[in-house]
C-alpha cells in the first residue's frame, strides 16, 4: 500500500516531484526491446556515453488532465510522437515507433494515477519523454545503443502569476539557434544555448527573453522555451522561421483562431511590427499562453507596450479558456485532440 499523498495541488510550482514509476525501452542490435517499468529515478550510464559528450538526446513535454467528468485525458500525444521522431532523425537517432510511444505514455500515466491533480486545482500531470544515446565511445559519431524513457510529475503553472501579463525582453547579444541548425528539433543543446540569456532576463525582472532571427537581427523568432504570436485586425500572426521549434500549443491555437473566424498568418514578423499588435503572447505546453504586457529592446532603447491596461486581452483570454476547456473536458473536443487514458 502506498502512503496517502499530502500535496497542496493548488500551490504546486512547475518543478520535479518524485512519483511512483517511470517506463523505459532500450534499443540494441538494431531494434527496440520490451517496455520495462521501474521505480528507480537513476539511469545507469557509462561516462563515455554519447549523450554526455556529443549531445545526442531529444525530449518532449506533454500533459495529462483530470477532467470535470473524472476522466483523464492526454492532450495531442500524436503530435508529440511525431515531433520526437523528427528530433531523433535530425540528430541521427533511431526514432521510437509511434505505437510504442503511445503505449508508454498511457502506461506511465496509469501507473502514476494518484499523482494526477484533481480537477479544478489548475495543476496537471507533466509527461517527459526522453531519448539518449548511451554507447560508450570518444569518436564523434552516432551511438549504436539508446535508451528511451518517460517519467511524470505533477506541476502547477509555469509562471507564478498563471494567466497574467508579464514583461519580456529582446536579446541581441545571443542566438538560440542558427537558421539551418537544430532549432526545429527539441534537443537539449538549444536550451543550453538559451540559459545565459534567460538568466539575464530573469535577473532584470522579465519573464523570459525573445530572440531575433540569427541572420539579420530584424525579425521575431521565439523565446527560449515558447513560440510568439501577435493579434491585430482579427488576425493571428506567428513567425515563420527555419530555426523555431514547431510548438504543438501554437499549432492548436492556430486551429482555434480559425475556428473563431480569425485569419491566420505565418510569416516573418519585423520587430517594429510589435508596436501595432493589440495583443500578444508566448505559448507552449508548460505555460499554454503567457500574455505579454510589453517587450523591451534595451539595446536600442525601445519599449513596445502591448497590454495598455496591464490585463490579458479578449482574444488571448478566449483562446486560453477554449484550449484549457478542451483539455479538461469542459468543451467538446471537435478535433479529436484528446486521448482518454483513464475512464
What residues are labeled active site? 186
C-alpha dihedral, 238 to 241 to 243 to 245, nearest 10°:
40
Please tell me the distance from the alpha carbon of residue 126 to that of residue 40, in angstroms, as a whole number.
Answer: 18
CB atoms near residue 343 (< 10 Å): 7
Please tell me the distance from the alpha carbon of residue 142 to that of residue 159, in angstroms, as a whole number.
Answer: 37
> Distance from first CA to last CA of the chain, Å, rounded?
22
Distances (CA, A) of 77 to 217, 290, 340: 34, 22, 11
Closest CA to 149 of 33, 288, 5, 1: 33
Cβ 55 vs Cβ 188: under 8 Å: yes
Would you list the DSSP string of 125-159? EEEEEEEEE--B-SSSS--S-EEEEEEEEEE--SS
Amino acid at each position: 500500500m502506498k502512503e496517502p499523498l499530502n500535496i497542496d495541488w493548488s500551490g504546486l510550482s512547475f518543478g520535479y516531484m518524485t512519483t511512483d514509476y517511470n517506463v523505459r525501452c532500450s534499443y540494441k542490435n538494431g531494434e527496440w526491446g520490451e517496455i520495462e517499468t521501474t521505480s528507480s529515478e537513476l539511469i545507469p550510464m557509462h561516462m563515455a556515453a554519447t549523450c554526455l559528450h556529443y549531445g545526442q538526446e531529444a525530449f518532449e513535454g506533454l500533459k495529462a488532465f483530470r477532467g470535470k467528468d473524472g476522466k483523464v485525458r492526454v492532450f495531442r500525444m500524436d503530435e508529440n510522437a511525431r515531433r520526437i521522431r523528427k528530433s531523433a532523425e535530425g540528430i541521427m537517432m533511431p526514432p521510437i515507433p509511434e505505437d510504442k510511444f503511445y503505449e508508454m505514455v498511457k502506461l506511465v500515466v496509469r501507473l502514476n494515477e494518484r499523482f494526477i491533480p484533481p480537477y479544478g486545482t489548475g495543476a496537471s500531470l507533466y509527461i517527459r519523454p526522453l531519448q539518449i544515446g548511451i554507447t560508450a565511445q570518444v569518436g564523434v559519431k552516432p551511438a549504436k545503443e539508446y535508451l528511451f524513457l518517460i517519467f511524470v510529475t505533477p506541476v502547477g503553472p509555469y509562471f507564478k502569476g498563471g494567466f497574467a501579463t508579464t514583461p519580456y525582453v529582446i536579446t541581441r547579444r545571443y542566438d538560440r539557434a542558427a537558421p539551418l541548425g537544430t532549432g526545429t528539433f527539441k534537443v537539449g543543446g538549444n536550451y543550453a544555448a538559451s540559459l545565459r540569456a534567460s538568466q539575464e532576463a530573469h535577473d532584470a525582472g522579465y519573464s523570459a527573453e525573445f530572440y531575433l532571427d540569427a541572420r539579420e537581427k530584424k525579425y521575431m523568432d521565439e523565446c527560449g522555451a515558447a513560440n510568439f504570436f501577435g493579434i491585430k485586425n482579427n488576425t493571428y500572426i506567428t513567425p515563420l522561421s527555419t530555426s523555431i521549434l514547431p510548438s504543438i500549443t501554437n499549432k492548436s491555437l492556430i486551429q482555434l483562431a480559425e475556428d473563431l473566424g480569425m485569419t491566420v498568418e505565418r510569416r516573418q514578423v519585423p520587430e517594429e511590427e510589435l508596436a501595432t499588435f493589440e495583443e500578444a503572447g508566448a505559448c507552449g505546453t508548460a505555460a499554454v499562453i503567457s500574455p505579454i504586457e510589453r517587450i523591451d529592446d534595451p539595446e536600442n532603447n525601445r519599449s513596445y507596450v502591448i497590454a495598455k491596461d496591464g490585463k490579458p486581452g479578449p482574444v488571448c483570454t478566449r483562446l486560453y479558456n477554449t484550449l484549457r476547456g478542451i483539455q479538461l473536458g469542459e468543451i467538446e473536443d471537435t478535433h479529436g485532440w484528446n486521448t482518454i487514458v483513464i475512464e
